[in-house]
Amino acid sequence: MPTLEHPSECGGSGELSAPRLRVDTPEKAGLDPTELRHLVREAHDLTTGDHPWAPGVVVVAGRGPVIAVQEAAGFAVRYASYDPITDTGVELSRAARVPATVDTPFDLASLTKLCTSVAAVQQIERGTLGMDARVGDYLPEFRAAARHGITVRQLLTHTSGLRPELPLYDCRDDAQRLALLRVEPPTGEPGTYLYSDLNMLLLQFVVERVTGRTLDVLVHEGITRPLGMTATGFGPCPGAAATEYQRRPWAKADRGMLRGVVHDENAWALGGVAGHAGLFSTGRDLAVFCRTLLAGGSYGPARILGPDLVELLLTAPGLGFAVDQPWFMGELAGSGAAGHTGFTGTSLVLDPMTETFLVILANTVHPVRRPADSGPRANLATRLARAVRGT
């Protein structure tokens, strides 16, 4: 029976010692093969034409311990630059393009938030961090957060009232960036949902303070290493799919064509390791992450969280995870499915009710960012939901 290999693309090395997810037929996974064939065809269709949804797409889907779909389509690198006058990408020659494969790492963008959340909940499980403790108890120098009584739970549930982001990329140095964050007060009503990258940045600073270790070390030691996710880590990641040709005014910095360095400008300004963005990974590695959570926090002999804490992560309103969001989960939403999306075109959905999971990695921002369109992500998730119902 074929099993997953974990090539060391970036962020670590070593072989997975735990029993691995196996690749098998849809029937062995308890999924309808016709619906999965539709899923694969639609994934390929997303990469075709002069203006594809994404130049490259990787889809990994399965149920229980079985991966029934692992498919790559299109190109990890298709464009050399972007022409704003014609609003088109400047295409590489056919020989210079890089095809996407199932081993291609992608910039995860906001899927990074899921690992930041798990790292924080691990500290809650160990008793070094309080769920309802105030951020000011750990970071008294963050005066605005302390004054307004922002809690760890509010950071995890995006109910702190902090605005979506700050222009940290325009600051002259780290000292100025930290100064901005320390005095930033809530702009929304505390307790009301307002999605914000700042929540995960503050959470990063909290877990780093209580552990004395940086976030990249915490993610490696607490998540990716024990699970054998050897292709997952913060950049640089030279073999990754390309993202954007960044130039002002459409981007927030002048960085040229990006490949293997974080796309998010604030994460880049913070050195590439940030609570809200910065991780690179492959579809296979993220399938292991999904399977671990669906199995209550364990994968083979490794355990990264206890089942009660995993349930807390995935149960509405979710801790870092979004729950039952049809705009990207399609018909998987409605029975407690949890997941997240990333600005670069990524998404992850896992459904504890049916033990199904779907990972979509794409570079929709290559060669330039476009208005968000999560319809394709929702459509692929619907195909998986129907594959469950069709068996």
CATH number for position 356 = 3.40.710.10
Q: Is the pLDDT of residue 14 over 50?
A: no
Hunting for tokens 């990249």 — which residue is that?
Answer: 216
Residue 310 is assigned to a structural domain of this protein: yes
Residue 262 is assigned to a structural domain of this protein: yes
Residue 257 is assigned to a structural domain of this protein: yes
Number of domains in the chain: 2
pLDDT in the model for residue 73? 98
Same domain, 140 and 277: no
Same domain, 224 and 319: yes
Q: Is the pLDDT of residue 4 over 70?
A: no
DSSP string, 83-145: ETTTTEEEEPPTTT-EE--TT--EE-GGGHHHHHHHHHHHHHHHTSS-TT-BHHHH-TT-HHH
pLDDT band, very low/low/confident/very high, at 2 (cuts 50, 70, 90): very low
Query: One-letter amino acid identity for 223?
Result: I
Question: Token pair of 1, please?
Answer: 């029976």
Same domain, 80 and 197: no
Across the range 187-202, mean pLDDT stands at 95
Residue 24, SS3? coil
Across the range 262-272, mean pLDDT stands at 98
pLDDT in the model for residue 8? 38
pLDDT in the model for residue 3? 44
Q: Is the pLDDT of residue 9 over 90?
A: no
43-80: per-residue pLDDT in tens? 999 999 989 999 999 999 999 999 999 999 999 999 99
Residue 111 is assigned to a structural domain of this protein: no
For residues 160 and 196, the answer to whether their CB atoms sit within 8 Å is yes
Q: β-strands 302-303, 242-246: how paired?
A: unpaired
Angle (nearest 5°) at CA 321 between 326 and 165: 100
Same domain, 200 and 277: no
Across the range 295-322, mean pLDDT stands at 96
Q: Closest Cα to residue 232, out of 3, 10, 6?
A: 10
Same domain, 196 and 266: no
> Percentage of residues in the chain with pLDDT exceeding 90?
93
Hunting for tokens 């769920």 — which residue is that?
Answer: 131
Q: Is the pLDDT of residue 12 over 50?
A: no
Same domain, 232 and 373: yes
Residue 266 is assigned to a structural domain of this protein: yes
By CB neighbour count within 10 A (0-12 exposed, 13-18 middle, 19+ buried), where does 248 fall? exposed
Q: Is the pLDDT of residue 382 over 70?
A: yes
pLDDT in the model for residue 20? 75
- Domain boundary pick from 171, 188, 213: 213
* Alpha-carbon distances of 81 from 88, 91, 363, rounded to whole Å: 9, 7, 14
- Domain boundary pick from 170, 194, 213: 213
pLDDT in the model for residue 10? 52
For residues 265 and 252, the answer to whether their CB atoms sit within 8 Å is yes
β strands within 269-386, DSSP E: 279-281, 298-299, 302-303, 322-323, 338-341, 347-351, 356-362
Q: Is the pLDDT of residue 38 over 60?
A: yes
Across the range 203-226, mean pLDDT stands at 98
Angle (nearest 5°) at CA 141 between 135 and 147: 55
Residue 181 is assigned to a structural domain of this protein: yes
The Cα 198–Cα 223 span in angstroms is: 22
- Please name the residues in contact with 280: beta carbons below 8 A apart, sequence gap of 6 or more: 9, 10, 11, 105, 106, 107, 108, 232, 233, 234, 235, 237, 240, 260
Domain span at 315: 22-102+217-389
- Please name the residues in contact with 306: beta carbons below 8 A apart, sequence gap of 6 or more: 125, 296, 297
Report the CATH number that the domain containing residue 137 is assigned in CATH: 1.20.58.710
Same domain, 234 and 201: no
Burial state string for 78-94 with b = 16 or more CB within 10 A and e = fewer than 16 = bbbebeeeeeebebbee
Q: Closest Cα to residue 136, out of 125, 128, 145, 123?
A: 145
Across the range 253-279, mean pLDDT stands at 98
Q: What is the mean pLDDT of the chain?
A: 94
95-143: per-residue pLDDT in tens? 999 999 999 999 999 999 999 999 999 999 999 999 999 999 999 999 9
Q: Closest Cα to residue 70, out of 378, 353, 285?
A: 285
Q: Is the pLDDT of residue 274 over 60?
A: yes
Question: Token pair of 85, please?
Answer: 């006058």
